[in-house]
């Protein structure tokens, strides 16, 4: 009987073993089937995903190819095309300082450096033309672009924007005037502030050649003497009033070299500085006295006395006259003496300093504020602003 029980137990174990074997085998097959399905799903999903991605790429490419560009983007494309053109034709680059060269947009299209304006605007009803210009600025090249699409759009230069303000005067008659074939800001509160190179400048005028004269408003240079060399006429270190050899010329040139970036320097045109002398009996305010002697091709300088006096709306303003402070923003915004480039023609140690808008002759070894003058290129582009302290003019 014991044997029978043992045999029954063995039989039960066999049955259980067979059951578990079969059960596990089914599970393995089921798992194997699930794995195959999962793998198939992953492959199928990857294929579908790749097809969708391809469709999206093609759609984006199609949209980009058929998307019209903004006028600002067109100006950028034109400028870049001009840079590539002159890289290929270096022999056409302007050789002399201040010289410019211009390539028409049609030439850039022919050389396949840019698409046609119709392709860029996607508008066959609007006719556009344009050009890219390169200017030699003391051996460096400054590139600009210009487009005109009739009434739809035209690139706005800062020079043109300023000239458009002619005759738009404030209640106290401050504003832009045409004077001596130039466009001059005059009065007590003209809107003539421009922000450039991280500081504020006053636009003094647009000269007859289209260059924009700027005077530094912010205090960026320590007070300095105009000159302190030994003067044989005075037997002392009162200084010599020769700007070409003066201490102050070195000071402003050092400011130019150290302060401006390379890109900012490209926007600053080389210009003649009027270094002719005058005295208190001289009444001319047309620049004929100061500009009778020129220091040419300077990147930076100081303001001549006649430009300070022309900022006044008082008709009796002349050197050393207190009336020059009347209706004169250059007398209102600067509280202490600051230097001009103009020397006195009678005393070899005297130069003109501006006190509240009045040009006063003083010894060159006197300390005064240094407010450099620069000239912007004729073709700098207007970006935004109305010329106030809160919203100054900005350029591209």
Q: What is the pLDDT, as a whole number, of residue 33? A: 55
H/E stretch holding 44 reads helix 2-66
Express as a percent the part of the chain with pLDDT over 90: 78
Q: What is the pLDDT, as a whole number, of residue 273? A: 97
> With 50 as the cut, is the pLDDT of residue 82 above it?
yes
Q: Is residue 43 part of a domain?
A: no
Q: Per residue in 293-332, pLDDT tens? A: 999 999 999 999 999 999 999 999 988 899 999 999 999 9
Q: Higher confidence at residue 283 or residue 237?
A: 237
Q: What is the pLDDT, as a whole number, of residue 372? A: 98
> With 50 as the cut, is the pLDDT of residue 214 above it?
yes
135 plus 198 within the same structural domain: no
230 plus 123 within the same structural domain: no
76 plus 98 within the same structural domain: yes
Q: What is the pLDDT, as a whole number, of residue 37? A: 65
Note whether 384 and 258 are within 8 A (CB): no
- Provide the number of structural domains found in the chain: 2
211 plus 358 within the same structural domain: yes
Show which of 155, 180, 198 is a domain's final residue: 155
Q: Is residue 297 part of a domain?
A: yes
Per-residue CA distances from 132 to 80, 81, 167, 268 (Å):
9, 8, 32, 19
Q: Is residue 234 part of a domain?
A: yes
Q: What is the pLDDT, as a whole number, of residue 76? A: 95
184 plus 79 within the same structural domain: no
Among 27-41, 62-76, 279-293, 334-348, the minimum mean pLDDT is found in: 27-41
> With 60 as the cut, is the pLDDT of residue 121 above it?
yes
140 plus 167 within the same structural domain: no
265 plus 345 within the same structural domain: yes
Among 16-20, 149-153, 288-292, 302-306, the minimum mean pLDDT is found in: 16-20
117 plus 148 within the same structural domain: yes
Strand 271-274 vs strand 129-137: parallel, antiparallel, or unpaired?
A: unpaired
Show which of 133, 155, 177 is a domain's final residue: 155
> With 50 as the cut, is the pLDDT of residue 3 above it?
no
Q: Is residue 3 part of a domain?
A: no
What domain range includes position 242?
Answer: 160-395
Show which of 155, 174, 204 is a domain's final residue: 155
pLDDT band with cut points at 50, 70 and 90 for residue 281: confident
The pTM assigned to this predicted structure is 0.82
Q: Is residue 386 part of a domain?
A: yes
Q: How many CA atoms lie within 13 A of 104 on its CB side?
A: 5
Q: What's the mean per-residue pLDDT of the chain?
A: 89
Biggest CA pair distance of the chain: 151
169 plus 104 within the same structural domain: no
304 plus 372 within the same structural domain: yes
Q: What is the pLDDT, as a whole number, of residue 249? A: 98
Q: What is the pLDDT, as a whole number, of residue 11? A: 47
99 plus 221 within the same structural domain: no
Q: Is residue 235 part of a domain?
A: yes
Three-state secondary-structure class, residue 250: helix
Question: 360: left (phi > 0), else alpha (psi -120 to 50), else beta?
Answer: beta
Q: Is residue 54 part of a domain?
A: no
Q: Is residue 55 part of a domain?
A: no
Q: How many CA atoms lie within 13 A of 292 on its CB side?
A: 13
Strands (E), the chain: 100-104, 129-137, 140-148, 175-179, 182-186, 193-196, 199-206, 212-216, 224-225, 271-274, 294-298, 338-343, 350-355, 358-363, 367-368, 373-376, 382-384, 394-395
Q: What is the pLDDT, as a whole number, of residue 112? A: 96
Distance CA 354, CA 234 (A): 23
145 plus 188 within the same structural domain: no
pLDDT band with cut points at 50, 70 and 90 for residue 36: low
Q: Per residue in 331-358, pLDDT tens? A: 999 988 999 999 999 999 999 999 999 9
């Amino acid at each position: 009987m014991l044997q029978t029980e043992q045999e029954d137990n063995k039989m039960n174990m066999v049955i259980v073993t067979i059951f578990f074997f079969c059960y596990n085998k089914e599970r393995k097959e089921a798992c194997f089937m699930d794995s195959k399905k999962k793998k198939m799903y992953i492959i199928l999903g990857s294929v579908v995903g790749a097809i969708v991605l391809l469709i999206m790429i093609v759609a984006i490419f199609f949209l980009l190819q058929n998307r019209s560009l903004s006028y600002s983007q067109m100006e950028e494309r034109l400028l870049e095309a001009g840079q590539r053109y002159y890289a290929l034709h270096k022999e056409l680059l302007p050789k002399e300082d201040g010289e410019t060269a211009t390539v028409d947009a049609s030439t850039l299209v022919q050389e396949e450096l840019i698409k046609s304006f119709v392709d860029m605007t996607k508008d066959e009803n609007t006719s556009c033309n344009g050009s890219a210009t390169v200017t030699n600025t003391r051996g460096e090249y400054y590139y600009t672009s210009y487009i005109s699409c009739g009434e739809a759009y035209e690139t706005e230069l800062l020079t043109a924007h300023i000239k458009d303000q002619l005759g738009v005067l404030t209640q106290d008659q401050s504003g832009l005037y045409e004077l001596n074939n130039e466009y001059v800001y005059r009065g007590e509160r003209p809107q003539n502030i421009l922000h450039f190179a991280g500081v504020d400048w006053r636009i003094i005028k647009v000269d007859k050649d289209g260059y924009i004269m700027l005077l530094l408003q912010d205090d960026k240079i320590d007070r300095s003497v105009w000159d302190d060399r030994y003067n044989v006429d005075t037997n002392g270190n009162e200084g010599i009033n020769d700007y070409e050899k003066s201490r102050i010329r070195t000071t402003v040139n050092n400011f130019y070299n150290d302060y401006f970036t390379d890109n900012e320097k490209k926007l600053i045109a080389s210009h003649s500085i009027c270094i002719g002398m005058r005295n208190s009996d001289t009444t001319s305010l047309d620049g004929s006295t100061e500009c009778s002697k020129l220091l040419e091709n300077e990147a930076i300088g100081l303001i001549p006395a006649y430009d300070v006096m022309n900022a006044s709306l008082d008709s009796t303003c002349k050197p050393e006259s207190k009336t020059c402070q009347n209706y004169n923003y250059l007398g209102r915004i600067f509280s202490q003496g600051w230097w001009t480039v103009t020397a006195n023609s009678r005393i070899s140690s005297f130069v003109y300093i501006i006190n509240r808008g009045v040009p006063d002759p003083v010894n060159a070894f006197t300390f005064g504020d240094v407010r450099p003058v620069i000239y912007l290129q004729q073709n700098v582009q207007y970006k935004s602003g109305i010329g106030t302290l809160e919203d100054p003019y900005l350029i591209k």
